[in-house]
Amino acid sequence: MSNISKNKDFSSHLWDSSELYRDAVTQLESATKTMNLDPNLTERLRVPKRAMIVTVPVRMDDGSVKCFEGFRVQHNITLGPAKGGIRFHHDVNLSEVAGLAMLMSFKCSLVGLPLGGGKGGIRVDATQLSRAEHQALIRRYTMEIINIIGPEKDIPAPDVGTNAQTMAWMMDTYSMAKGYPVPGVVTGKPVDVGGSLGRAESTGRGVVYTTEHAMKYLEKKGKSKLKMDSSTTVAVQGFGNVGSIAAYDYWQKGMKVVAVSDVSGGIYNKNGLDIGKVMEYLALNRVLAGFPGSEPITNADLLELNVDVLTPAAMEGAITSKNVKNIKAKIIAEGANGPVSPEAMNELEDCGVFIIPDVLCNAGGVIVSYFEWVQGLQQFFWSEEEVNQKLADVLESAFNKVVALKEQYKCGMKTAALISAVDRMSKAMLLRGLFP
């Protein structure tokens, strides 16, 4: 029995309990097999380097004390400090955070950042927390994990259920403990406390940039004539940090956005929605439902619409073997992390659907996080045009690298993206060697 299969039995008890982690390992193994990687390197990449599990007690507004489960996982730090968001979600667990940390390692490596991969999470429904409870929760969590984070160690950022204000509180807590301001400890901060211009929009913006590259690539290959104009229809699942900006930018570029949704459901108009007005409506009403001139649509039906571009930007597991047969889009841009399962991805790619994998499609967020970290360390800030131009350049070269590998290995886009990521990481691992 090889080391890998022996350890598979062992590690399954600790890490493998979530679909997301198992999917990440399946995709890693498919890439390492295709590129014929030394199995000793695969052995190290399929498990995280370290994890911290903490209890986070919080006094709630009603005076009671509640204990929440908190996690921070660092998957790989060979290329640099760990980097990745903090997720507040009622389903978060160690295995899911470990899988997301692994995806962050691949994402940072793919786009050439000097960073490793990490992720954090607290098992809580963020929508049920008051502002004071949210603040108490993130401050206590920061203190609980303070020994493993820092600008040279591990740099958190927002993710599902957290935002720029959450990062401001994290930065403040860390800085209070150190006795001086430390902007480089987190990214995704508000601009007024050292955040970067363009960071809040960067993930959604990157989704749209990579969609544009996909269209140009397919046209060059004579596979489709889709353009960023009103002849192209798009549906976006999820209207948070990522989905709302992606929908807005698609609409700004002239595409017909026929449906968008949030957790409570979606809105549809076959002639296209005015996303500027949808945003104004949401700011006033807090839900998309009831937007004038739209019909209601469920999240499940939105995914199955007959559109050219589909952007699942909500949570993992949106498209699986259960609904894959009903998916009609020609391009799928993975705005969320892991929205298409490996089996569904194979099936879609076999049918000629072009998939822009998460590690490329939503990498805009961590790319501008890296710019924010660099600006914070230097105390020298760039204009939004500079940020956007650098973001566009990094994504264009990553996209070109991935399609070149896809053609070289005759494999899917996700496998090609992981080959590129793993190749860079494994070269660094070999050069640094195995300690002791």
**Closest to ligand GLU by CB, 158 or 307:** 158
20: contact with ligand GLU by CB under 6 A: no
187: contact with ligand GLU by CB under 6 A: yes
Q: By CB under 6 A, which span of 54-62, 90-98, 261-269, 362-370 interacts with ligand GLU?
A: 362-370
Q: By CB under 6 A, which span of 2-10, 77-85, 221-229, 243-251 interacts with ligand GLU?
A: 77-85
CA pseudo-torsion sign 76, 101, 354, 110:
negative
> Among this protein's residues, is 119 annotated catalytic?
yes
What is the rounded radius of gyration, in angstroms, for the C-alpha atoms of the chain? 21
At 336 the three-state DSSP class reads coil
At 335 the three-state DSSP class reads coil
**Closest to ligand GLU by CB, 304 or 334:** 334
* Interacting residue with ligand GLU among 37, 56, 102, 157 (CB under 6 A): 157
294: contact with ligand GLU by CB under 6 A: no
Q: How far is the CB of 108 from ligand GLU (least distance, A)?
A: 8
**Count of residues near ligand GLU by CB under 6 A:** 12
Cβ proximity of 308 and 331 under 8 Å: yes
**Closest to ligand GLU by CB, 49 or 216:** 49
Give the Cα separation of 101 and 73 in Å (integer).
6
83: contact with ligand GLU by CB under 6 A: yes
* Interacting residue with ligand GLU among 42, 166, 337, 388 (CB under 6 A): 337
159: contact with ligand GLU by CB under 6 A: yes
**Closest to ligand GLU by CB, 211 or 362:** 362
Give the Cα separation of 18 and 378 in Å (integer).
39
Give the Cα separation of 14 and 21 in Å (integer).
11
Q: How far is the CB of 157 from ligand GLU (least distance, A)?
A: 3
What the block records as the tokens of 157 is 């950022």
* Interacting residue with ligand GLU among 164, 332, 366, 405 (CB under 6 A): 366
* Interacting residue with ligand GLU among 81, 116, 365, 412 (CB under 6 A): 365
Give the Cα separation of 345 and 13 in Å (integer).
27
Among 107, 119, 256, 401, the active-site one is 119
CA pseudo-torsion sign 242, 47, 406, 308:
negative
User: Token pair 């896809």 is at which residue?
Assistant: 406
Residues contacting residue 46 through CB under 8 Å, at least 6 positions apart: 4, 11, 25, 28, 29
At 175 the three-state DSSP class reads helix
Q: How far is the CB of 90 from ligand GLU (least distance, A)?
A: 18
Q: By CB under 6 A, which span of 138-146, 269-277, 358-366, 418-426 interacts with ligand GLU?
A: 358-366
Q: By CB under 6 A, which span of 14-22, 81-89, 315-323, 395-403 interacts with ligand GLU?
A: 81-89
**Closest to ligand GLU by CB, 102 or 157:** 157
Give the Cα separation of 396 and 210 in Å (integer).
8
* Interacting residue with ligand GLU among 48, 70, 84, 412 (CB under 6 A): 84
Q: Largest Cα–Cα distance in the chain? A: 66
- Using left for φ > 0, alpha for ψ between -120 and 50, and beta otherwise, residue 112 falls in left
Helix (H) or strand (E) holding 354: strand 354-356
**Closest to ligand GLU by CB, 228 or 240:** 240
Q: Which strands make up the sheet holding 154-158, listed edge to edge?
A: 50-59, 65-76, 116-123, 82-89, 154-158
Q: How far is the CB of 363 from ligand GLU (least distance, A)?
A: 7
What the block records as the tokens of 302 is 């939105």
**Closest to ligand GLU by CB, 133 or 154:** 154
Cα–chain center distance at 401: 20
Please give the positions annotated as active site: 119
Judged by the rule CB under 6 A, the positions of this chain that interact with ligand GLU are: 83-85, 157, 159, 187-188, 337, 362, 365-366, 369
